[in-house]
Amino acid sequence: MEKVIGKILQGYQPACVVMAANELKLFDQLKQPATAKQTADTLNLDPEATERLLNALTSLEIITKENQTYQLPKEAHEFLTTGGSHSLQQWIQLSSDLYPVWGQLSSFIKSGILIKSIMEMLGGDPHKMRAFTDAMHDKALKATWMIAREIPIGDAKTMLDIGGGPGTYSLEWCKLHSHLKATVFDIAPVLEVAKNYIESYKLQDRVSTQPGDFHKDDLGDSQYDLVLMANILHMYDADISKALVNKAVKAVKPGGRIVIHGFCTDEDQTGPIDDTLFSLNIGMLTEGGRAHPVQEKIDWLKGAGVSDIHHFRVDAIPTGVITATRRGAS
Ligand SMILES: C[S@@+](CC[C@H](N)C(=O)[O-])C[C@H]1O[C@@H](n2cnc3c(N)ncnc32)[C@H](O)[C@@H]1O
């Protein structure tokens, strides 16, 4: 038990090492080999403290050290450096932003009241909103890639991506299926970021954006072959989530498919570990949000008029996927 607790208590330290290195742009610097002194001089850091950080990064096996020279291995460039094809930079930055929130966990447990609204991170400050949306993209890439390949979409031609953020899911799905056209529905400022991603994927002809508020606006009636809600329901309590599921199913053509992707705990809510921790995380950032258990989501779907419900987990973050078909196909 002592060992287990000791290991758990150390958990935030490696995270802080990676977050500090990311914030200081050390990984960009270490694309080329450099000593601690050279790195510190270039980035205007304290040489001795820099050496400690570089040694810790080496023991975490993120960089290498040879003859007092440190380097980020080539295979890590795409994940950790600016402009990398699978960049995790904004995601790491988001973890840094959430770190002070986790420091107030006991306050949340006492009061049950959120610590900081997640929509604040999107609303007022355009820079933060862009960073958050970029982080969603970085984070979504692996899950998107896996889900798009796991779910056969047949000859589906139209897709609605509700709360699609940067549009990662629509873009990866359209990249895979040349017959598919997608609409990314989100609030207007987030869609400005999505437009950049759509251009960078060169998919302007098949991926469009639709600004709106999914609580207030109509999302269509029997209009789409495929409707996706990725990482949306965890922001809301059960009543609001159920209403959103009803709206999403209504937008699907009879015989078409709905996909719900996101954090969801198993029935007794004690696992998977990422999902139970996320439930605390989102509790501190929303009013009533949680990683709703799989069965609860399935019940909402059944109530909304679907059949052929499948639940599976992918090896990504988050893991949960539920797919179903809208009843009523002729
Ligand atoms: C956690 S992000 C998920 C983004 C994307 N689906 C993904 O998984 O990468 C939630 C998204 O919902 C959007 N959103 C939140 N409230 C909304 C509302 N009332 N109407 C439209 N979009 C909303 C946010 O702007 C954000 O892009």
Write the pLDDT tens digit of every residue in 283-328. Answer: 999 999 999 999 999 999 999 999 999 999 999 999 999 999 999 8
CA-CA distance, 249 to 11, in Å (whole number)?
40
Kindly report which listed range (20-34, 124-138, 198-212) carries the lowest average pLDDT score: 124-138
Q: Hey, do 2-85 and 140-267+286-326 end up sharing a CATH topology, with the first three levels equal?
A: no
Backbone angles phi, psi at 34, to 5 degrees: -155, 150
The CA–CA distances, whole Å, from 154 to 148, 150, 255 equal 12, 12, 12
Q: Is the CB of 219 under 6 A from ligand 1?
A: no
Nearest CA to ligand 1 atom 18: 213
Q: Where are the domains of the chain?
A: 2-85, 140-267+286-326
Q: What is the pLDDT of residues 224-233, one digit of tens each?
A: 999 999 999 9
Looking at residues 141-159, what average pLDDT do you find?
Answer: 91
| Mean pLDDT, range 100-111, rounded to an integer | 97
Over 60: is that where the pLDDT of 190 sits? yes
- Residue 330, pLDDT score: 55
pLDDT, residue 169, reads: 96
DSSP 124-187: T-HHHHHHHHHHHHHHHHHHHHHHHHHS--TT--EEEEET-TT-HHHHHHHHH-TT-EEEEEE-
What is the band of 121 on the pLDDT scale with cuts at 50, 70, 90?
A: low
pLDDT > 90 fraction of the chain, expressed in percent and rounded: 85
> Mean pLDDT over all residues of the chain?
95
Write the DSSP symbol of residue 252.
Answer: E
Q: What whole-number distance in Å separates Cα of residue 249 and Cα of residue 258?
A: 7
pLDDT, position 57: 98
Specify the range with the lowest mean pLDDT, choosing from 99-108, 116-125, 153-162, 287-296: 116-125
What superfamily does domain 140-267+286-326 belong to in CATH?
Vaccinia Virus protein VP39 (3.40.50.150)
β-strand partners of 182 = 159, 207
- Four-residue CA torsion sign, 11, 17, 20, 22: negative
Contact 294, 320 (CB under 8 A): yes
Average pLDDT value for residue range 247-276: 97
| Beta strands across the sheet bearing 320-326 | 207-211, 181-186, 158-162, 224-230, 252-262, 320-326, 306-313
pLDDT of residue 87: 84
Structure tokens at 207: 């991926």
- Does residue 214 line the site of ligand 1, with CB under 6 A? yes
Atom of ligand 1 nearest to the CA of 190: 25
Looking at the domain that runs over 2-85, which CATH code has it been given? Answer: 1.10.10.10
CB 47 within 8 A of CB 36: yes
Nearest CA residue ID for atom 20, ligand 1: 213
Strand pairing category for 306-313 and 320-326: antiparallel
190 lines ligand 1 (CB under 6 A): yes
Residue 147 has a pLDDT of 93
- pTM of the predicted model as reported, rounded to 2 decimal places: 0.93
